[in-house]
Amino acid sequence: MASPRIVEIRVAPPRDALDRFEAAWNRLAEGQKMAPLRVLSLEDLPAFARALTPARWALLESLKKGGPCSIYELARRLGRDYKNVHTDVAALGKLSLIERTENRITVAWDVVRAELRF
């Protein structure tokens, strides 16, 4: 069985992403092999709440449980307006929480792990 695909969402200051980049750069400069790290950093709790609203979380759950589909089909599944679902799909796509092919969208992750730092 393949290991689960995990994305980590962090609420942390911008320096968190810079620190990860610097650490990765140093490991590569030393010739170490890098395992892919899937981390999305958001600057604060309000940014996190705007990015993952309850409606967007329900959208992700529906896609994961129901499988890939079109935006139209997803709006029908959720009982929501097409335009609003399209807006949410675009926002989640920018965050790389969903993948979009020609007519279908899907959740690329098995686990979304959230970490909040002070």
The domain ranges of the chain are 6-116
Q: What is the mean pLDDT of each run of 10 residues along the chain (118 residues)?
A: 77 73 77 72 86 94 94 96 97 91 88 77
For residue 66, the model assigns a pLDDT of 94
Token pair 């329900």 is found at: 58
**This prediction's pTM:** 0.76
Model pLDDT, residue 82: 97
- pLDDT at 25 (0 to 100): 77
| DSSP per-residue string spanning the chain | -PPPPEEEEEE--HHHHHHHHHHHHHHHHTT-------EEEESSHHHHHHHS-HHHHHHHHHHHHH-SB-HHHHHHHHT--HHHHHHHHHHHHHTTSEEE-SS-EEE--SEEEEEE--
Q: Which CATH number fits domain 6-116: 1.10.150.120, 1.10.10.10, 3.30.70.120, 3.90.330.10?
A: 1.10.10.10
